[in-house]
Amino acid sequence: MKHFRKELWFQVPTRRAFINITSQIEDCLRESGIRNGLLLCNAMHITASVFINDDESGLHHDYDVWLEKIAPHEPVSQYRHNVGEDNADAHMKRQIMGREVVVAITDGKLDFGPWEQIFYGEFDGRRKKRALVKIIGE
């Protein structure tokens, strides 16, 4: 069995953003040479997510509005976590949007359903952060 590991780095200039990383994941898959197996991608930070959904800007706006309703950034004083930091909402947003995705690899391709794309969700950006890609198979 072959295995492959790579870190993808991000420096998002805003506090929150959704970035389509599908082509970067496909580059990893090509680099790995693995044709059949499983791919894991996870955020390596507790204030960021990796998730799969549609690449549609209206939906991403809706996510942002929805997440702000559930875990609003302001006022930062409403959270006990925010002693010396201001990112309690980012921890909660990450919890809702998830840590990782697993995708089947079939004949050298991501074996997606219709419209599926992989996103890095940033909830406390403006610094260097990363996601891990691990691929196993043959």
Could you give the CA distance from residue 53 to residue 73 in angstroms, rounded to a whole number? 24
Could you give the CA distance from residue 20 to residue 109 in angstroms, rounded to a whole number? 17
Nearer to Zn ion, 46 or 132 (CB): 46
94 binds Zn ion (CB under 5 A): no
| CA distances in angstroms from 131 to 19, 68, 80, 89, 134, listed in the order given | 12, 23, 27, 20, 10
Which region among 31-39, 56-64, 80-88, 114-122 touches Zn ion (by CB under 5 A)? 80-88
Residue from 43, 87, 92, 133 touching Zn ion (CB under 5 A): that is 87
32 binds Zn ion (CB under 5 A): no
Could you give the CA distance from residue 25 to residue 71 in angstroms, rounded to a whole number? 29
Number of residues that bind Zn ion (CB under 5 A): 2
79 binds Zn ion (CB under 5 A): no
Q: Which amino acid is it at 26?
A: E
Give the number of other CB atoms < 10 A from CB of residue 136. 16
Question: Least Å distance between CB 87 and Zn ion?
Answer: 4
73 binds Zn ion (CB under 5 A): no
Nearer to Zn ion, 24 or 87 (CB): 87
Name the residue number minimizing CB distance to Zn ion. 87
Residues that bind Zn ion (CB under 5 A): 85, 87
